[in-house]
Amino acid sequence: MNEWEALQAQCESCRACALCESRTHVVFGMGDPHAEVLFVGEAPGANEDEQGKPFVGRAGQLLDDMLTMIGLHRDRIYITNSIKCRPPQNRDPLNTEKDACAGYLHRQLEMMQPKIIVCLGRISAAEMIKPDFKITREHGQFFEKDGRLMTAIYHPAALLRDPSKKPETFVDLKRLQAKIREICPNTKLDF
């Protein structure tokens, strides 16, 4: 078992907070752990909890379409969430739950050393980029933090609720594509 698999195994048996009582599966993440680009969502929903994989519901289908638009595919990136277990009824995670879980994402970042982190939605951007992140004003911008390049785009669930945000997200995705071309030589983009 390599270091990544050991972390995954530890995470999948985690009992550090009460979410372990209500979860069906821990959602550690999926994709290529050696990827240069890491996508970070908020927390698993019902479908993800059921299947143990991130972004597998309607929002996940839209995320796949968004990746396809810029010539990417799930298996060439890594996708995870800041919280690895589903909060019941999709309520916001408590601070104690966030604190109990933070170490897993931290270790994933240390091991992956991604070149670009793409936050999906405001909550993830507030965790990863800055607490007062304004998704309506700052989506698509690139920020450098701890020597890493980070950006945030609208959460696919937000795009399902409000499709009028799709055109600006397309612009953000094209900027992301250009940045990947510029600094991620090992990330294959179709066409």
* Interface contacts to ligand URA, rule CB under 6 A: 41-45, 48, 54-55, 59, 81, 120, 157
Nearer to ligand URA, 48 or 172 (CB): 48
Least distance between ligand URA and beta carbon 124 (Å): 7
Least distance between ligand URA and beta carbon 42 (Å): 3
Nearer to ligand URA, 52 or 71 (CB): 52
CA-wise closest residue to 176 among 116, 134, 129: 116
Least distance between ligand URA and beta carbon 147 (Å): 25
Torsion, Cα 128 80 98 160, to 10 degrees, reads 80
Least distance between ligand URA and beta carbon 50 (Å): 11
Environment class of 13 (CB within 10 Å of its CB; exposed 0-12, middle 13-18, buried 19+): exposed
Nearer to ligand URA, 3 or 65 (CB): 65
Q: Would you list the DSSP string of 3-26?
A: HHHHHHHHHHT--SSTHHHH-SS-
Q: Would you list the DSSP string of 131-145?
A: TT--HHHHTT-EEEE
Nearer to ligand URA, 86 or 115 (CB): 86
Residue bearing tokens 């991620």: 184
